């Protein structure tokens, strides 16, 4: 079962007030039904089909006709079709189905807005499983103005959704992991939220660990590269003129660098301090290597001339 189905199964079983039922049903029918002489509602989720059936029966005393068919293009999922032939005008007026944008009374408070967005998700929303792919929440909408309305409604909760044209439809989407978690909380998908947040925290921790490891490896590479350049300078001086050109202090660190070619400056300063009994700091060590580098560069220039 997909993560989207898990979320839909959970929220379709919530106990709701009548105002929530009306707002949610309005959103579901707006995005998954066709209206002519009757209302025909289509969904691929059995829990959503059961929710629609029970809501219509509870709110209007009507029992829709249900048909179950195999999915298109050899899809293993079933398609659930609910047909409503009684009280069509009353249902359309009550749920604002004849308007592209729902009437204000359907979303005039926080509870109704959340219920409406939950209905939109049940009808045309999907969320990627955070364990398997990138973070992504989307709604596929058939109309530009309605897509912008849904995006605006979502953004009242600070979710930073955007609208993108996709073929002959429009996608309202959210990419930020924390915002998607906020949406799950907003539609009251609590169990799905727990799963989502556990995976998100694990992935964030893993990514941080990888970044730290990469940073540590980069530091190691930098240390080795710097040490090899120092070795190269010392070997050049030794080959061309001998280490006698160096002062006693510079000669001492040159000898130790050749002996410990891959250690860091900090480690080398500690080794020299312990073995000679004379403390030398990392800064002092770096100063002496700069002097060695200057001499090596002069010898290179002389050799080129």
Residue whose entry in the numeric block shows the structure tokens 């605006």:
152
Could you tell me the two tokens for 42? Answer: 């289509």
| pTM greater than the 0.85 cutoff | no
Domain 3-188 fold is: Endonuclease I-creI (3.10.28)
Query: In whole angstroms, what is the distance from residue 135 CA to residue 178 CA?
Result: 9
Could you tell me the two tokens for 33? Answer: 């039904």
Query: Which pLDDT tens digits describe the chain residue by residue (305 residues)?
Result: 799 999 999 999 999 999 999 999 999 999 999 998 899 999 999 999 999 999 999 999 999 999 988 876 555 678 999 999 999 999 999 999 988 899 999 999 999 999 999 999 999 999 999 887 688 999 999 999 999 999 999 999 999 999 999 889 999 999 998 999 999 999 999 999 999 988 888 877 666 777 777 777 777 778 888 888 988 888 888 888 888 888 888 888 888 888 888 888 888 888 888 888 889 898 888 898 898 898 888 888 887 76
In angstroms, what CA-CA distances link 88 with 20, 38, 234? 20, 6, 92
Query: In whole angstroms, what is the distance from residue 107 CA to residue 19 CA?
Result: 9
The one-character DSSP state at 57 is H
pLDDT of residue 69: 85
pLDDT of residue 76: 64
Q: Which of 41, 37, 38 is nearest to 27 (CA)?
A: 41
pLDDT of residue 224: 82
Show me where the domains of the chain are located: 3-188, 220-304
How many Cβ atoms from other residues are within 10 Å of residue 10's Cβ?
A: 18
User: Which three-class secondary structure state does DSSP give residue 174?
Assistant: strand
Residue whose entry in the numeric block shows the structure tokens 């939220």:
193
Determine the distance from the C-alpha atom of residue 229 to the mean position of all C-alpha atoms in its chain, rounded to a whole number.
Answer: 42
pLDDT of residue 130: 87
Residues 6+ positions from 136 with CB-CB distance below 8 Å:
127, 128, 173, 174, 175, 180
Could you tell me the two tokens for 16? Answer: 């709701």
Residue 33 φ then ψ, to 5°: -135, 160
pLDDT of residue 88: 92
């Amino acid at each position: 079962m997909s993560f989207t189905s898990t979320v839909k199964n959970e929220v379709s079983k919530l106990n709701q007030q009548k105002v929530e039922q009306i707002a949610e049903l309005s959103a579901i029918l707006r995005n998954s039904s066709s209206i002519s002489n009757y209302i025909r509602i289509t969904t691929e989720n059995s829990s959503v089909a059961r929710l629609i059936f029970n809501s219509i029966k509870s709110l209007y005393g009507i029992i829709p006709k249900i048909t179950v068919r195999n999915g298109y293009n050899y899809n293993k999922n079933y398609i659930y079709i609910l047909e409503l032939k009684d009280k069509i005008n009353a249902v359309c007026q009550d749920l604002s189905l004849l308007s592209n944008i729902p009437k204000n009374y359907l979303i005039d408070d926080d509870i109704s807005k959340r219920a409406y967005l939950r209905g939109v998700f049940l009808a045309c929303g999907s969320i990627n499983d955070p364990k398997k792919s990138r973070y992504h929440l989307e709604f596929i909408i058939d109309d530009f103005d309605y897509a912008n309305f849904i995006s605006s409604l979502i953004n009242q909760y600070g979710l930073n959704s955007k609208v993108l044209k996709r073929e002959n439809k429009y996608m309202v989407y959210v990419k930020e992991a924390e915002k998607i978690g906020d949406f799950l909380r907003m539609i009251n998908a609590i169990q799905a939220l727990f799963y989502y947040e556990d995976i998100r925290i694990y992935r964030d921790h893993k990514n941080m660990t990888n970044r730290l490891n990469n940073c540590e490896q980069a530091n190691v590479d930098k240390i080795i590269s710097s040490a090899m350049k120092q070795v190269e300078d010392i070997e050049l001086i030794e080959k061309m003129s001998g280490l006698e050109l160096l002062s006693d202090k510079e000669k001492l660190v040159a000898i130790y660098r050749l002996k410990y070619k891959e250690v860091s400056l900090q480690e080398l300063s500690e080794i020299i301090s312990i073995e000679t009994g004379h403390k030398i700091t990392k800064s002092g060590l770096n100063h002496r290597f700069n002097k060695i580098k200057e001499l090596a560069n002069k010898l290179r220039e002389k050799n080129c001339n």
